[in-house]
Amino acid sequence: MARPRPRRPTSSSAATSPPPASSRSRPSPHTSSSSWTARDISGRAGCRRTAAAGRIPRRSWPRCSGSAGRSRSRPCRASTSTEMMRLWKVVVLVNLALALGVGLGYLRWARENRDLRAELARIQESTRRQAGNRTWTIRGVVRSVVPRLGVVFLTHEAIPGLMSGMTMGFEAEDAKLLDGLAAGDPVRFTLREQGERVRLVAIEKVPRP
């Protein structure tokens, strides 16, 4: 039995036949890539919003601006602590310097005060010794004589380093020095300083001027 021959498609049937499935359902490459890119961006944004919503907010610290070349900023806590430590070191050093200066000044003042006291004591002792040996010979006029007390009152000229000219009484070292004296006699007499007292140690009449 003879097999039937397949029919050749005519031009009309080829024109009206539907396109193959592969060519009919294939999307445009530009349209597919754009849709997937939009989905990725929206998905990432949603993930970030979700993570940001569930994240515990951190405590914000003040940040110090670094140099122009640094891209990241650091908190100021470390620098503030360093500055405080430096300030305390400066304060401690200043206090130590002041205490040292005051202590050295006090020691120097105490040493100078001790030296001045010793020098004053030496001067006083030297003056006292010299005072015990001082004598004066001067002129005067007898005003009165008290032999019983061994005192004579004289009007005398100035005594250098002791007193100015005046009338006063002097105690004689020996009462016999006053024998023969009368009021109005011009005399020359010698005084000697003995401790805190000044005594008459010699007296003689002189001619009237």
Q: What is the CATH number of the domain that holds 157?
A: 2.40.50.320
- What does DSSP assign to residue 19? P
**Cα separation, 188 vs 154, whole angstroms:** 10
- Tokens 């310097």 map to which residue? 97
Q: Is residue 23 part of a domain?
A: no
- What does DSSP assign to residue 176? G
Which of 88, 114, 133 corresponds to the end of one domain? 133
Q: Is residue 115 part of a domain?
A: yes
Q: Is residue 9 part of a domain?
A: no
Which tokens hold the place of 85? 């430590």
Predicted pLDDT at 121: 84
- What does DSSP assign to residue 153? E
Predicted pLDDT at 69: 47
Q: Is residue 29 part of a domain?
A: no
Task: Identify any residues that bridge with 198 across adjacent strands, giving them in sequence order.
Answer: 193
84 and 120 share a domain?
yes
Please tell me the total count of domains within the chain: 2
Q: Which residues contact 44 (CB under 8 A, 6 or more apart)?
A: none
Predicted pLDDT at 67: 46
Q: Is residue 179 part of a domain?
A: yes
Predicted pLDDT at 146: 92
82 and 116 share a domain?
yes
pLDDT tens for the chain, 209 residues: list them: 455 555 554 444 444 444 444 444 454 444 444 444 545 555 555 545 544 445 555 555 545 454 444 545 555 566 788 888 888 888 899 999 999 888 888 888 888 888 888 888 888 777 666 655 789 999 999 999 999 999 999 999 999 988 899 999 999 999 899 999 999 999 999 999 887 788 999 999 998 87
Task: Identify any residues that bridge with 154 across adjacent strands, giving them in sequence order.
Answer: 142, 168
Predicted pLDDT at 81: 81
Which helix (H) or strand (E) segment is 191 a member of? strand 186-194
- Tokens 């020095």 map to which residue? 177
The boundaries of the domain holding residue 124 are 77-133
120 and 81 share a domain?
yes
Helix (H, G, I), strand (E, B) or coil at 46: helix
194 and 145 share a domain?
yes
Which of 87, 109, 133 corresponds to the end of one domain? 133
Helix (H, G, I), strand (E, B) or coil at 40: helix
